[in-house]
Amino acid sequence: MHEFHYRAGRRRRLWLPLLLGTLAFANTALAATLSIGIQGEPASLDTARIGGTTWENDVLGDLFEGLVTLDPAGEYIPGAASRWDISDDGTVYTFKLRDDANWSDGEPVVAKDFVLAFQRLFDPANGAVYASLFYPIRGAEAHTKGEQDAPELGVEAVDAKTLKITLNQPTPYFPTLLAHIAASPVPSHLIEQFGNDWTQMDHIATNGAFAPTSWTSHDHIAARKNPEFHDADDVALDGVDYYPVEDRSAGLQRFRAGGLDIVRDFSPDRYQWLQENLPGAVHLAPQLANYYFALNQRDGHPTADKRVREALNLAIRRDVIADKIMGGVVSPAGGFVPGGVSHYDAQTMPGLDRTMDKRVAEARSLLADAGYGPDHPLELTLRYSTTEANKRIAVALAAMWQPLGVETQLINAEGAVHYAELANGNFDVGRGSWVADFDDASNFLGILQSDSPKNYGGYRSQAFDELMAKASRETDIAARQQLLQQAERQALSDYAVAPIYVDVSRNLVNPGLEGWENNALNRHLSRWLSLAQGN
């Protein structure tokens, strides 16, 4: 572990281990090992069996390298592929793999490793959670669904170093998908030998900048620099240790005590305090992530009435939530797709530009039109998953709607129950959020499509669906952008959801760490980082 003392003096630290007469902090030999506090335990190191959590990106992103990867600023750059050609109709991608791409056991990375990775991703037996992300690939959906007459999967090895991927239709954002950890290759030579046990520590080989050496569940995953990595000469760190730290205040304390160099999240409540006490370590950056409330549009729910949805949206003081409740760390959102998404201009819900008084008056008259009033108050159930911030926002919403005569019943539940209830449609207003898998507006807007399992509110709009379908076929980036923006405007004018704020990434970073750049994807590969001497 790298010794980093933020406030505690070095001298005070030295005598106690001596007093205790034990090994203690004899870590200086591992001078360039980075310690990252990740938000939880990865489900697996096997891309076909990961659980779909953000912290899996931190670990697998360092261990594996897909065809495309990310630079420090979160921009997409060639990874295991040195270059690729796209057919004129935009459906066939031919990737040339790097000649110097190797697995950590010295075997070369070959096209077959990618073919097997995708086959495993779409194999129903693996139940891979990210399979649907890659449905643009020909045959992917049919294979995942286990259909008998599924067409041949559109991923093939032309030769050892040439990979061909065929898509159903042109998908301009396809290369960005390939930087996702689920598109990483697997060592086919090890899978042939060990099957699903290939991720065990005495078998595993990885093709990223680091290779794992040990994993003690809920303690840490240790990875050392992979000398076989094609860019190994430019990797400054000797190793990375990933510590799952679920408790955010515990993470902060371990950071302050010098045990962690990076902590991947902190409570928004602590922002002011951190700014005053650890100003050089606090990194706050807009993220491709939103926070919203789903409005149930199924029959029998008051929110099925567009006037009710509009009224509720108009009465929400998003600036108050962002500034007062979230401590000014997030920015209020008038649209569903957060600002900062590439090739996209953020949209705003109609009516939010008026003064608050006018909005509340309008909301009152809309509710009156919908048949609600003092004699017949609008009664809503609002569901949220149990966290302190969610609770405060829910209470604030109820208070903002109260002057309209709305009686809001708040129901909170732990995550598993909350999302099961949302999926079952057991709510009027339900808290949701989305963190982008890749930098494209379709990753957000897709949630509102009629057939999306994440469309909790059951929003159904033919116009919206058609615009989305049209956009998915459009190869011209500018024209596609227009279609997607038009689709969002449609959803916003239907008041399909109640957007609240655009989330931010919150990281604590040792000021002695070099190479860290805040980016909207909040992905930070350790290969770009280095620890300055003396920290």
Partner 1 sequence: MLIYTLKRLLQAIPTLLIVITISFFLMRVAPGGPFDGERQLPPEIEANLMAAYHLDEPLPMQYLRYMGNLLQGDFGPSFKYKDFSVTELIMQGFPVSLEIGGLAILLALIIGLPLGIAAAIKRNSTVDYLVMGTALTGIAVPNFVIAPIFALVFGVLLGWLPAGGWNGGALPNLVLPVVALSIQQIAYIARMMRASMIEVLGSHFIRTARAKGLNEGEVIWRHAIRPALLPVMSYLGPAIAGIITGSVVIEQIFGIPGIGRYFVQGALNRDYTLVMGTVVFYGVLIVLMNLIVDLLYSALDPQIRYDD
**Which residues of the shown chain bind partner 1 in the complex (CB under 8 A)?**
5, 7-9, 12-13, 16-17, 20, 22-25, 41, 43-46, 49, 51-52, 124-129, 131-132, 144-146, 199-200, 215-220, 243-247, 249-250, 253-254, 256-259, 413-423, 432-434, 453-454, 456
CA-based R_g, the chain, Å: 25
Query: Is residue 30 classed exposed, middle or buried when 0-12, 13-18 and 19+ CB atoms within 10 A define those classes?
Result: middle
**Shortest distance in whole angstroms from residue 460 CB to partner 1:** 17
Residue found under tokens 């992530």: 289
Asked if residue 338 lies in contact with residue 290, where contact means CB atoms within 8 angstroms, the answer is: yes
- Count of Cβ atoms closer than 10 Å to residue 319 Cβ: 13
SS (H, E, C) 190-244: HHHHHHHHHHCCCCCCCCCCEEEEEEECCCEEEEEECCCCCCHHHCCCCEEEEEE
Asked if residue 121 lies in contact with residue 129, where contact means CB atoms within 8 angstroms, the answer is: no
DSSP element (H, E) containing 483: helix 477-493
**Shortest distance in whole angstroms from residue 351 CB to partner 1:** 29
In the complex with partner 1, which residue's Cβ is closer, 218 or 279? 218
**Shortest distance in whole angstroms from residue 325 CB to partner 1:** 20
In the complex with partner 1, which residue's Cβ is closer, 164 or 270? 270
**Shortest distance in whole angstroms from residue 81 CB to partner 1:** 27
DSSP characters for 397-446?
Answer: HHHHHGGGTEEEEEEEE-HHHHHHHHHHT--SEEEEEEE-SSS-THHHHG
**Shortest distance in whole angstroms from residue 222 CB to partner 1:** 11
Asked if residue 142 lies in contact with residue 246, where contact means CB atoms within 8 angstroms, the answer is: no
In the complex with partner 1, which residue's Cβ is closer, 372 or 459? 459
In the complex with partner 1, which residue's Cβ is closer, 283 or 418? 418
**Shortest distance in whole angstroms from residue 250 CB to partner 1:** 5
List beta partners, residue 163.
95, 157
In the complex with partner 1, which residue's Cβ is closer, 245 or 308? 245
**Shortest distance in whole angstroms from residue 385 CB to partner 1:** 8
Asked if residue 84 lies in contact with residue 67, where contact means CB atoms within 8 angstroms, the answer is: yes
Measure CA 372 to chain center: 39
**Shortest distance in whole angstroms from residue 354 CB to partner 1:** 33
In the complex with partner 1, which residue's Cβ is closer, 88 or 414? 414
In the complex with partner 1, which residue's Cβ is closer, 21 or 106? 21
In the complex with partner 1, which residue's Cβ is closer, 132 or 381? 132
